[in-house]
Amino acid sequence: MKITTDSETLAENKVLILYVLSNVDKPITSDALYSIITSAIDLNYFYFQQFLLDLIEVKYIIRYKTETQDVYEITEAGKNTLDLTLDILPGIIKLKVDTNFKSNIETFENKESVIAEYTPKSENEYEIECKIVENNEIIFTIKLLAYSREQAQSIVENWRKNATTIYPKLLEVLTN
């Protein structure tokens, strides 16, 4: 792709980003957005990031921080621009996005809903935070300490893989 010389491709890719954002009914992470975009076209990640920055600069999209991550959303100006420029987006690309859209969004929603990370506090002490996030709202969080890097990694991995079974058990223990 000759991104620097092909202004039509450049505009098409920006319209595609606006198209996807207009079809999402809530803010979306750049990873989820990139996944949807690349299900329709082959796009270099660095060009994608530059397109996002360009669209933010002209106020067609906004980026803001939630409790857990940066998310993107189309603005009214972006919707108006999309209405005026949607015809430059080839129908086959729209069809690919529409076809893959729902499965990509569900995959990212499930992936983003279980979060676990650890932070070293000292050489032998690691703070671990495990969360469940739904609709950009933390519904469960727990913090604990581990006394080795291996233990911290094990807890994080276990939470990521098994949060759907651990969470109900914790609720049961806490409510009984």
Question: Is the model more confident about 8 or about 1?
Answer: 8
CA distance 157 to 136: 22
Strands 61-65 and 70-74: antiparallel
**pLDDT for the residue numbered 1:** 40
**pLDDT for the residue numbered 71:** 85
What is the number of structural domains in the chain? 2
pTM over 0.85: no
60-71 pLDDT, tens digit per residue, is: 999 987 766 788
CA neighbor of 52 nearest in space, from 35, 33, 68:
33
Is 48 a domain residue?
yes
Q: How confident is the model at residue 150 (pLDDT cuts 50, 70, 90)?
A: very high
Tell me how many helices (H) and strands (E) the chain has.
6, 5
* Dihedral (CA of 74, 75, 79, 81) sign: negative
Contact 33, 41 (CB under 8 A): no
Pair 59, 126 in one domain: no
Is 2 a domain residue?
no
What separation in angstroms does the CA of 79 have from each of 17, 61, 133, 137? 11, 9, 28, 26
16-56 pLDDT, tens digit per residue, is: 999 999 988 778 888 888 888 888 888 888 899 999 999 99
Pair 107, 117 in one domain: no
Pair 101, 130 in one domain: no
Q: Lowest-pLDDT range, 59-68, 125-134, 154-163?
A: 59-68
Q: Is the pLDDT of residue 107 over 70?
A: no
Q: Is the pLDDT of residue 5 over 80?
A: no
Of 78, 111, 144, the residue at which a domain comes to its end is: 111
Residue span of the structural domain in which 141 resides: 113-175
Pair 99, 128 in one domain: no
Of 71, 91, 111, the residue at which a domain comes to its end is: 111
**pLDDT for the residue numbered 52:** 94
Pair 73, 121 in one domain: no
Of 111, 146, 163, the residue at which a domain comes to its end is: 111
The β-bridge partners of 35 are: none
